[in-house]
Structure 1
Amino acid sequence: MRDRFMKPELTIWPSSASLFLVPCTAQAHFNRKLEFWDCQYGLDFSSFKTLAKEDLLSKPYHDYELPCGDCLAKGQSVLRLDMKTVTIESLENIVCQFEFVIDQGDTMHGFCTWFEVEFCPLGEDMDTVILNTGPDNELTHWKQNLFLLDSPVQVNAGDVISGTLTISRNPEYRRHLRALFDFKVIPGSEEKSKSVDPSSVQKMFYVWR
């Protein structure tokens, strides 16, 4: 529709869209979803944890409200799409590079994502309007998306989280996505970096919308 009917001089809204990512801690949510299996009314259900992880942690939580204090680094844009030029083919498989420097030591339970869209002005007397659904902006009904790891990772201030997020579309069910996180935690101090060989962490999520 865009390529067929839109003239080059016209404006499309939203004009651009960006995907933001941040490593985060989410202890309360993690406990609520998994730790409660350890003891329910005095009974031990911990044997169900593995099955619960396979089911509960294979999909992101779309209605999550991320407290700013739970962000372990500064959120960054890992993907930006120009709505005038983006093609369907370019959305089939998207690889996003990221690198974060941890601000505060804590338990990293996963990543949070949110989006930002821009509405370019129609005239010189108008300003660009930005809608940002991040945790440091006014809450919207979209909130944030939480991607929980199977096993939380302990990180320290100065550590570097480096990796990729690969987003691929289902060839048959077009609104379904797969999101693969592949990253390493690199110790920030020289002493630790010499003694620790950072291993890669991979986690696939299924996004059903």
Structure 2
Amino acid sequence: GYFLLFESMLDSVLYARDRYLADDGLVYPDRCNISLAAVGDTQKHCDRIAFWDDVYGFKMRCMKKAVIPEAVVEMLKPETVISKPAVVKTIDCGSVTVSELEFTVDFSLKITACTFCTAIVGYFDIFFDKSCGNKIMFSTAPDCTKTHWKQTVFLLESPIPVKTGEELPGQIVVHKNRKDPRALLITLDIAGRKQTYSLQ
């Protein structure tokens, strides 16, 4: 699923693994990483968020509260990524439990440009590694070959000024939406600014 965990598709794989896999059986892909990076795209932020400050002369700031919590699945321009990526979750598909797919992790993003952080992007990497003579992987990162999964973008309400070389601290909380187990609720706390996003 998008952001690897959307729609709880992995849950079905784990159920089948636990019920049908032989004792010496293997699951492929055997490892997955979820990563985050900072995004600096002031034009997109202006078009989607700041736009509501003045809509043809009308102040519609209240609309921001409805727009910001919606995570956006799209192809991100690689040049808008302004930090090194941080892996926030590594999943061993042979042993992970469904409960472990909900998690809270602190992270830090090393900034690579003097600009404004306008969003956080999430993506995943898949590895075919264990007992493989020909180890392969693929990534859904912005700078890799385009895939069906694209990337998941979490727009910030207000851009954060950042400088090259500094660390942007954050925390991510991922859990299922209790009202719809296929949907995800993702809370990001970036430099003390907290926002919960829905992926549904």
TM-score per shorter chain, which class?
Answer: 0.7 to 0.9
Give the residue type in structure 2 aligned to 1:52. M
Q: Could you tell me which residue of structure 2 aligns to residue 31 of structure 1? A: 46
Question: Counterparts of 1:25-174 in structure 2 under 5 Å?
Answer: 25-37=40-52, 43-45=56-58, 47-48=59-60, 50-63=61-74, 65-91=75-101, 93-120=102-129, 126-174=133-181
Residue ranges of structure 2 left out of the alignment (5+ in a row)? 1-15
Determine which structure has greater relative contact order: mean sequence separation of CA pairs < 8 Å that are 6+ residues apart, divided by chain length: 2
Partners of 2:95 and 2:54 in 1: CA distance: 54
Residue ranges of structure 1 left out of the alignment (5+ in a row)? 185-199
Is 1:102–1:158's contact at 8 Å kept on the other side of the alignment? Answer: yes
Describe the superposition over 1:12-67 as per-residue Cα deviations: whole angstroms up to 9, x where unpaired: 12211110100111222212213444566xx302x11x22211211111112x222
Other structure's SS at 1:84 match? coil
Other structure's SS at 1:174 match? strand
Deviation at 1:115, TM superposition (A): 0.8
Check if 1:16 corresponds to 2:15: no
Other structure's SS at 1:9 match? coil
- Larger Rg belongs to: 1
Partners of 1:101 and 1:116 in 2: CA distance: 20
The alignment's C-alpha RMSD in Å is: 1.8
Is 1:121–1:127's contact at 8 Å kept on the other side of the alignment? Answer: no
Give the residue type in structure 1 aligned to 2:97. T
TM-score, normalising length: structure 2: 0.84
Partners of 1:16 and 1:121 in 2: CA distance: 9
Is 2:49–2:157's contact at 8 Å kept on the other side of the alignment? Answer: no
Deviation at 1:179, TM superposition (A): 0.7
Deviation at 1:68, TM superposition (A): 2.3
Q: Could you tell me which residue of structure 2 aligns to residue 191 of structure 1? A: none
The number of equivalent residue pairs is 185
15-24 vs 67-76, which moves further: 67-76
